[in-house]
Amino acid sequence: MSKKIVVIYSGGMDSFTVLHRAINEGYDVHALSFNYGQRHLRELDCAKAVCEELGVPHLVTDISAINVLLQGSSLTSNEIEVAEGHYSAQNMKSTVVPNRNMILLSLAVGYAVSIEAGKVFYGAHSGDHTIYPDCRPEFVHAMNDVTRIANFEEVEIASPFLNEDKIAIVRYGLEHGLDYSKTWTCYNGREKSCGKCGSCVERLEAFQLNSVTDPIEYE
pTM, whole model, 2 decimals? 0.88
Q: Exposure pattern of 190-215 as b/e (b: 16+ CB <10 Å)? A: eeebbbbbbbbbbbbbbbeebeeebe
In a domain, 68, yes or no: yes
Which domain CATH number covers 73? 3.40.50.620
Compute the distance between CA of residue 124 and CA of residue 122 in angstroms, rounded to an integer.
6
- Tell which wins on pLDDT, 121 or 86: 121
d(CA 178, CA 20): 8
Phi, psi of 56, deg, nearest 5? -90, 130
Closest CA to 206 of 185, 176, 190: 185
In-domain check, residue 219 = no
**104 in a structural domain:** yes
pLDDT, average across residues 2-21:
95
Contact indicator for 109, 153 with CB cutoff of 8 Å: no
Whole-angstrom CA distances from 17 to 67, 105, 153, 176 are: 27, 18, 27, 10
Within-domain flag for 169: yes
Q: Which residue, among 110, 139, 125, has the nearest Cα to 6 in the 3D structure?
A: 110
Q: Is residue 62 part of a domain?
A: yes
- Note whether residue 113 is domain-resident: yes
Residue 217 domain-assigned?
A: no
Residue length of the chain: 219
Domain hosting 140: range is 4-209
Whether 127 contacts 164, CB under 8 Å: no
The number of domains in the chain is 1
pLDDT given for residue 173 in this prediction: 98
Find the mean pLDDT for residues 149-164: 94
214 — pLDDT class (breaks 50, 70, 90) = very high
Q: Which pLDDT band holds residue 38 (cuts at 50, 70, 90)?
A: confident
Number of H helices, E strands in the chain: 6, 5
Instruction: Specify the pLDDT at position 129.
Output: 46
- Within a domain: residue 94? yes
